[in-house]
Chains A and B, each alone.
Chain A
Amino acid sequence: METTSLPTDYFPIAIQFFVALGFVLTTMVATHLLGPKRKSKVKLEAFECGIESQGNARIPFTIKYFLVAILFVLFDVEVIFMYPWAVNFKELGTTGIIEMFIFMLLLLTGFYYIIKKGALKWE
């Protein structure tokens, strides 16, 4: 652990930094100078996978959208806990299973609550 690092040890990192910065700057300036400039209505339009874009993206959303979105995030992120548990399944043993079941139970309780509370009802 107790290895000392001198400022000179960071020299390669500095070189890497300047190379990265230089590459970005050079390519941006070069394409700007070399490329032809054609400005037409079609060319300046936002590209939406070939479909014509309609209206402004900044319109008010219904509040229900945010509710569903945040609930989705909540139940989506919970999988993060499943992965390390699955990897360490053997080491954690029975205690691990019980703890995971308590966790899932609490999660399902929450799920039941939001359904009963009508958070997922769109109308």
Chain B
Amino acid sequence: MNSLIILAALGLIILFSEIFNFKKIIFPIVFAGIIAAIVAALGDWNNSASYFNNMIRTDNYAVSFSVLILFITLLWFVMSSSMFEDQETRTDYFSLIVFSLIGALVMVSFTNLIMLFLGIEILSISMYALAGSKKDNLASNEAAMKYFLLGAFTTGFLLFGIALVYGITGSFNTDQISEYIMSTGHSSSPVLIAGILLILTALTFKIAAAPFHFWAPDVYQGAPTPVTAFMSSVVKTAAIASFLRLFGSAFAGPSEFWIATLWVISAITIVLGNILAVYQTNLKRMLAYSSISHAGYMIMSVIALNEKAASSLLFYTAAYGISSLAAFMVLLIVSSKSGTEEISGLRGMFSKNPIMASAACIAVLSLAGIPPLAGFFAKYYIFSAALQSGYTGLVLIAVAGSLVGVFYYFRIIINIFESNVQMNDLGVNVFNKAFLLICSLLALLFGILPGLIIDAI
């Protein structure tokens, strides 16, 4: 809970750094603030307590996801320093990111549907503004507009669903909702089913799962690359974690019908995301489709709904977050030097930029799920959790989907190692090299020692 207060204070400090003229040193302040927030979050470990009239509970689930989100943001700040070069707008971007983190933390630690709604809104509104932060770029404006209109629309779905659930159960509290449904056996009430399905729709929109994924490719492609990386790592982690937290607690009782729905959504997402990614020639758009397909795998943990679900989801989001950050970093460097976001822009990268090329390969292989990298064990744990609950058919679809995934991920690697074309030295600075190295090492480390995360919760 203290981490929330630290982040809120940090956001205010950033805003006032412009007025009191200390925005030159704002980068170290943000860094220190987020590290302080991580430490504060870790202080709640094994020390579950409820705050604000049972609105928020800092159980181990909340703490582990909060720490993951803050840690990924820390890495993200290293990657996206180019976004904060403009003195005019840097404080705005910094504070928007920090405020969106508050939303993310609320989303993973709520015990009240109102807090879920507030968390999603705090996160989303910052992201709407950030998606359009390249003000003179038409694609960025379009991305912000699309994201905002569709996001606001689905927020209506969420509120409507919450209202219906409240109407039946008489409570916003997830424990009381679950208790009420269990004790009265109202699970077959059509109003409750409608409410749960509306909430499910809104949340699948936020994680960009098919058939609610249509906004994702355009928004991911149009938004500035650092913002896209943030959306596909931090925002996705927060959204799927809140999904599992809600459906694993409040609605775990009447699970048959929404698991059937999610089963289909997950299967469609995996198949569609992977197949559509094959046809993309734009690297950013391809990563967007890959991010959609990964949402499908993440949903499998919600479907599994057993004691392994939380830990496998944590591992998956960690592995995916780190790998996709590295992939977006490579895209950012290449596109800023060559001006193209096409996959062909990577041609012949290995000969002159071996470090970056290797990091890109590790990131892509981890996304594809090749052992011994983190992505492989992430998929392994999610699949085994789903198998344990008896969803063999879905796991078969998911495996077939990842095989399609390997195809387009390897296209990136083939382009990198192409020897006919020579790419110039991109002149990657030490900062970025260190970032790529850290991401690669983490992907390897989590792959070799998956117990570090998987045994955490």
Q: Which residues of A contact B (CB under 8 A)?
A: 106, 109, 113, 116-117
Contact = CB atoms under 8 A, between A and B. Distances in A.
Contacts of B18: 117
Interface residues of B, number: 5
A117 to B, nearest CB: 7
A106 B16 CA distance: 13
Nearest to B92: A117
B12 interface: yes
Contacts of B15: 113
B19 A117 contact: yes
A117 B18 CA distance: 9
A113 B15 CA distance: 8
Contacts of B19: 113, 116-117
Contacts of A117: 18-19
A117 B95 CA distance: 14
Contacts of A116: 19
A49 to B, nearest CB: 35
Chain B residues touching A, majority SS: helix
A116 B16 CA distance: 9
A116 B18 CA distance: 9
Interface in B6-36: 12, 15-16, 18-19
A106 B11 CA distance: 12
A79 B18 CA distance: 29
B91 to A, nearest CB: 10
Nearest to B19: A116
Nearest to A1: B170
Contacts of A109: 12
A39 to B, nearest CB: 41
Across the A-B interface, give the 3 residue pairs with the lowest CB-CB distance, nearest first. Answer: A116-B19, A113-B15, A109-B12
Contacts of A113: 15-16, 19
Chain A residues touching B, majority SS: helix
8 contacts: A106-B12, A109-B12, A113-B15, A113-B16, A113-B19, A116-B19, A117-B18, A117-B19
A106 B102 CA distance: 16
A113 B16 CA distance: 7
A121 to B, nearest CB: 14
A113 to B, nearest CB: 6
A113 B18 CA distance: 10
B294 to A, nearest CB: 37
Interface in B279-329: none
A117 B23 CA distance: 14
B92 to A, nearest CB: 10
A117 B20 CA distance: 11
A117 B17 CA distance: 11
A116 B93 CA distance: 18
Nearest to B8: A106
A99 to B, nearest CB: 10
Nearest to A2: B184
Nearest to B20: A116
Nearest to B170: A1
Nearest to A113: B15
A62 B326 CA distance: 43
Contacts of A106: 12
A20 B328 CA distance: 60
A113 B19 CA distance: 8
Contacts of B12: 106, 109
Given A109-B12, A113-B16, A116-B19, 5 more contacts: A106-B12, A113-B15, A113-B19, A117-B18, A117-B19
A117 B91 CA distance: 12
A34 B15 CA distance: 65
Nearest to B91: A117
Contacts of B16: 113
A42 to B, nearest CB: 43
B27 to A, nearest CB: 21
A16 B220 CA distance: 51
B429 to A, nearest CB: 33
B82 to A, nearest CB: 25
B280 to A, nearest CB: 37
Nearest to B16: A113
A11 to B, nearest CB: 22
Nearest to A116: B19
Nearest to A115: B19
Nearest to B184: A2
Interface string B147-188: 000000000000000000000000000000000000000000
A43 to B, nearest CB: 41
Nearest to B15: A113
A29 B16 CA distance: 63
A116 B19 CA distance: 7
B457 to A, nearest CB: 33
A57 to B, nearest CB: 25
A9 B18 CA distance: 63
A116 B12 CA distance: 14
A109 B16 CA distance: 9
A105 B16 CA distance: 15
B253 to A, nearest CB: 19
A33 B18 CA distance: 67
A83 to B, nearest CB: 19
